[in-house]
């Protein structure tokens, strides 16, 4: 990705990116507010921006940004060219059903984030095998519900 001065690219869990121009007074909260509007999220209290080290993309190489951090200062940090900015659900209620009831879009985003974490092996040393199977089964059920399949026959090719 070519470097553009004073432009922050935020990578979303669905594979999209959102770009934001910033100046010396722009803070992380401004970007979160804009993302709330663009993604039709009810509340941003569960979300934060995270810097991910692209050289070692594990959960241990993530750094949470405080809402009051100035983007110009973040971009001026040493080694900032080795980081990409992600929007992540970081503050999940004890019961995920509460998140579903209060903000269905945030719940869907969180679900995509969990699936991507498994696929990208961000938590692979800590991930239990049975959890991976349950997540795969849930993903298959979600796919079937979204496709509106009422028949008892399921295409394995579509599931793959």
Give residue 38's pLDDT band: very low, low, confident or very high (50, 70, 90).
Answer: very high
Instruction: Set out the domains of the chain in order of their start, with CATH numbers.
Output: 7-92 (3.10.20.90)
pLDDT tens for residues 82-128? 889 999 998 888 888 888 888 889 988 998 888 888 777 776 666 67
With a cut of 80, say whether residue 157 has pLDDT above it. Answer: no
Which pTM was predicted? 0.75
Q: How far apart, in Å, are the Cα atoms of 42 and each of 35, 58, 90, 108, 126?
A: 11, 29, 16, 13, 32
List the structure tokens of 24: 């010396």
- Is residue 85 within a helix (H) or strand (E), and if so which, with residue range? strand 83-89
| Choice between 148 and 97, residue whose per-residue pLDDT is larger | 97
pLDDT of residue 1: 42
Asked if residues 15 and 119 have their Cβ atoms less than 8 Å apart, the reply is: no
């Amino acid at each position: 990705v070519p470097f553009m001065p004073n432009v922050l690219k935020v990578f979303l869990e669905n594979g999209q990116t959102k770009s934001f121009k910033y100046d010396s007074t722009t803070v992380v909260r401004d970007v979160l507010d804009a993302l709330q509007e663009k993604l039709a999220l009810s509340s941003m209290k569960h979300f934060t921006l995270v810097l991910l080290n692209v050289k070692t993309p594990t959960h241990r190489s993530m750094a949470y940004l405080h809402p009051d951090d100035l983007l110009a200062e973040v971009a001026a940090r040493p080694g900032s060219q080795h980081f990409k900015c992600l929007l992540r659900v970081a503050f999940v209620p004890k019961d995920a059903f509460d998140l579903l009831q209060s903000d269905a879009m945030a719940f869907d985003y969180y679900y995509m984030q969990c699936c991507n974490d498994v696929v990208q092996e961000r938590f692979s040393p800590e991930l239990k095998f049975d959890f991976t199977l349950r997540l795969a089964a849930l993903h298959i059920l979600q796919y079937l519900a979204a496709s509106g399949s009422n028949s008892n026959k399921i295409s394995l090719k579509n599931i793959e």
